[in-house]
Chain A
């Protein structure tokens, strides 16, 4: 983890209530896809934890949903504004377990961390498939970006307005065999994936956090491997340890 001041390079709306922000600054503390940043905003005491969608040597891309006053303020930030960030938080996904044909399953605002994961999996020679689930067409984002990576991408919408009609699990038959899975999204989706998946896999969880780096014990959950802090020992847990 490192603390630093980052500059907003761009901050644009990409879907209903969904924004994409690119920040420039030190990214050396990011060690795995699926890690997150914790953002200090003027006038708000607690930081906002947001998953890292993509990163390179000097930039971090985040995609976030406006859910309250803090993220509302974030959505109004303009280029050149400075933000205090903690970077490189959480364990992130372990790509070593993927096998040759991993399946990535994202739901809504859970989609972004799967993007850098997908790139890392391709880099190591795997051929991922991706299922992205949304409620309705105007919430759909990132599908084209995944397609540009050359991976099979299936989109589902609950109301059938775009892609396959239904939930992410309704797209499982389209994918065929897979060696492992990685998923991020809402809890009901997790339970459906947990029930349908034929392999082991990793789940990236969300919880209301205090500090984001393991000090306050605000986000602890019980697992079969003992108590874990979602912010520090997670947010990624393996299928076998999860207690629903």
Chain B
């Protein structure tokens, strides 16, 4: 019997598989399809201080082995997330979850994180400083080591929960950002968010996406994500949640060998609503095939 348990900042997960923020809502709608308690955890839909409609449609474009989204952090705002969404999730999911928080100023990040801090089901706060689809916020905090440091410090000051900072790949050197977050007290790093991309419609000769550009995700970005996880693993001592194009149990093991302590599955959930479940079910077989008894033992094993 293989051991799929992993630990993130003192939190033990039955397996490292976590649906990524923005691809799984607040989880409860997937509970109609299968028992979501098999999931290691769930990273909830990105939440902001105020409710947000998000960007105009079209928000989606297809790519070879991937897709571009420009949803723009549509969410009901932190108050409704606490009063309506998380209670619905609690009815169908009994494990700790990851709250994914975004903001448009350092004060907003701190405000929203402080509000979620006392929620009993939130095990980890994942701070998104890498959303490519909003102006004057999101990614602008994650492309500069100084602002990444400031956001991390502000959030750490208002919560006792482990704080993971979700980083953007749209930077020259992601290790500099990761090191700044670690220096500011981050408990872990999530990477990568989507890569900035775009498509143009040949018939209209205009961008497919209303907001022109969006975040590119899917299997096509897996090698980029893997490379960045590998680099950040060498640069920091705190744990990494790896993500970016993960679509199979083999991808999960590859991500962990690069340095991830847990792995998020994103776009794959949108193509196949059973993707996370299938990966969890495949894991023991693939581990056995490659002589892995315990997943914890292989973290960073390729270095």
A→B interface (CB under 8 Å): 1, 3, 40, 44-47, 86, 207-211, 213-222, 227, 232
Contact = CB atoms under 8 A, between A and B. Distances in A.
B69 A216 contact: yes
A46 B71 CA distance: 16
6 contacts: A45-B64, A47-B271, A211-B269, A216-B60, A216-B71, A232-B29
B270 A211 contact: yes
Contacts of A40: 271
Contacts of A215: 23-25, 29-30, 269-270, 273
B273 A207 contact: no
Given A45-B67, A46-B62, A210-B69, A216 B57 contact: no
Interface of B: 22-25, 29-30, 32-33, 45, 53-54, 57-67, 69, 71, 74, 208, 218-219, 269-274
B271 to A, nearest CB: 7
Given A3-B273, A222-B53, A45 B25 contact: no
Contact of B71 (A209, A213, A217): A217
A218 B271 contact: no
B271 A217 contact: no
Contact of A213 (B60, B61, B74, B273): B273
Nearest to A218: B60
Nearest to A84: B272
A32 to B, nearest CB: 16
Given A40-B271, A45-B63, A45-B65, A214 B25 contact: yes
Contacts of B269: 211, 215
Contacts of A209: 60
Contacts of B33: 1
B125 to A, nearest CB: 21
3 interchain residue pairs of minimum CB distance: A211-B270, A218-B60, A208-B58
Residue in A1, A47, A215, A217 with the greatest tally of chain B CB atoms within 10 Å: A217
B264 to A, nearest CB: 14
B54 A217 contact: yes
A160 to B, nearest CB: 27
B84 to A, nearest CB: 12
Nearest to A219: B57
Contacts of A232: 29
A239 B63 CA distance: 35
Nearest to A214: B29
B69 A218 contact: yes
